[in-house]
Amino acid sequence: MFDYLRKRFNSHLRERSRRRARLVSKDGRCNIEFGNVEQARFVFLIDIWTTILDLRWRYKMTIFISAFLGSWFLFGLLWYVVAYIHKDLPEFNPSINHTPCVENINGLTSAFLFSLETQVTIGYGFRCVTEQCATAIFLLIFQSILGVIINSFMCGAILAKISRSKNRAKTITFSKNAVISKRGGKLCLLIRVANLRKSLLIGSHIYGKLLKTTITPEGETIILDQVNIEFVVDAGNENLFFISPLTIYHIIDKNSPFFHMAAETILQQDFELVVFLDGTVEATSATCQVRTSYIPEEVLWGYRFAPIVSKTKEGKYRVDFQNFSKTVAVETPHCAFCLYNEKEAKAKEKKGYDNPGFVLSEVSETSDTKM
C-alpha cells in the first residue's frame, strides 16, 4: 500500500513538473501578476466605483458593513457631543423646564440608537429632535443626506456585483480539447462551444489569439507574442444563432501559424491558443466575454467531435451534453503541408491530356547527302 501511494505521489509530481504555464485558465481567469505598482495605487482610488466592483465578496461585505456601522457610530458621537454641549445629559441635572436638543438621549448608547434610527429612517417616535437647537437640525439634515448617499452607493455596488455579465459567461462552455481533422476538404482546427441557457447572446463574435515566444530578426525576444487566429462557422463568425452547440474551426492554410506543425511535432511546440467569445446578454443588454485556452497537450491531431444534436420522435431537437467533449479518431493528413502538396500534385495531373490516337513512330536518320 505504501509503495502504491509513493508511486502515485511521484507520478503526480512528474506530471506537475511537466505542466505548462498558461496565461488563461480553462475557466477564463488570467494567470498574471503585476509588480511594482505601488506608485500608481492612488489611481485605483480615483476610479473607486470599478475598484469596489472588482473586489472579492469578502472584502466587499467588509466595506459594506464597515460603512454603515462606522457612519452610525460617528454620528452617534456627534449626537452625544450636541447633548453634552447643550447639557441635556442626566449628569448635568437639567431642570424640569429644560428643553433638550434631542428628546430622551441619556448617554452614548441612546445617542447611537438615535443615529441608527435617523439614518435608516426607522423613526420609532421615542427620540426626536426639537426646535431648541439649530445645530441639531443641521446635523439631522446632514446625516439624512449622507445616509442616502451611502445607501445608494453600497446597495448599487452589491446589485451591480450580482448582475455583472461575467456571471452570464459561466453558462457558456468550451470543449475540453481542440481537434485537428479535415473539414470540407481542408485541414482545420476545431473547437466546440455551447450555450447552457436558452436565452441568446446577441451579436456574438468568435476569435482567437495564439500566444508564443518569438525572436525577432533583430534578436529581441518577445514573450507572449500574439498572433491573430480567425475562427469561423458555416454561417459566419458574427451574429451567430447561438441556441445550440456550435463547432468553430480555423482553416490551417499557408497563412496559419499551424501550417508548419505536424502530428509528431505539435507536442514539442510551445504555444497557448486563447479563444474569445464576445456577445451581448439578451436580458440585460450588457456585453460579456467568455474565454478559454488550449495548450499543445490539449490539441488532438486526427480526431473530430462526436455528434451531439439529435431529433426526437416528437419533433424536438435534443442536445446530449454527454458527448460534448467526446472525440472520435478519423483519418487525417500527417501535416497541412502534405495535404496541400497532394492537392497540387492532383491539380498538375488534371492539366495534362492523353490522346489515345497518338502513335509514336521512329524516324531513322541517315548520314547520306547528295551533292
| 126 DSSP 8-state letter | S
Mean pLDDT of 72-88: 93
| Cell triple for 364 | 531513322
What proportion of the chain, given as a percentage, has pLDDT over 70?
Answer: 81
Read off the pLDDT of residues 11-55 as tens digits, 9 standing for 90 and up: 554 444 445 678 888 877 787 777 666 666 667 677 788 888 888
Strands 186-195 vs 246-251: parallel, antiparallel or unpaired: antiparallel
Amino acid at 101: C
Amino acid identity, position 88: D
Q: List CB contacts of 157: < 8 A, sequence separation 6 or more.
A: 49, 52, 53, 60, 64
Beta bridge partners of 316: none
The mean pLDDT of 50-67, rounded to a whole number, is: 88
SS3 (DSSP) at 287: strand
Mean pLDDT check: name the lowest of 41-50, 96-105, 190-199, 315-324: 41-50
Instruction: Delineate the domains of the chain, giving CATH numbers in brackets.
Output: 55-163 (1.10.287.70), 168-349 (2.60.40.1400)
Q: What is the pLDDT of residues 161-171, one digit of tens each?
A: 887 767 777 78
Average confidence (pLDDT) over 239-245:
75
* CA pair distance 182, 180, nearest whole angstrom: 7
93-145 tens-digit pLDDT: 888 888 899 988 999 999 999 999 999 888 788 888 988 889 999 999 999 99
Work out the burial of residue 278: count CB atoms within 10 Å of its CB; fewer than 13 is exposed, 13-18 middle, 19 or more buried.
middle
d(CA 154, CA 152) in angstroms, rounded, equals 6
Which residue reads 505601488 in cell numbers? 38
> How far, in Å, CA of 329 to CA of 124, rounded?
74
Report pLDDT for 371: 44
Residue 369 has pLDDT above 60, yes or no: no
Would you call 339 helix, strand, or coil by DSSP? helix
pLDDT of residue 18: 45
Q: What pLDDT sits at residue 17?
A: 43
Mean pLDDT estimate for the chain: 81
Residue bearing cell 428643553:
99
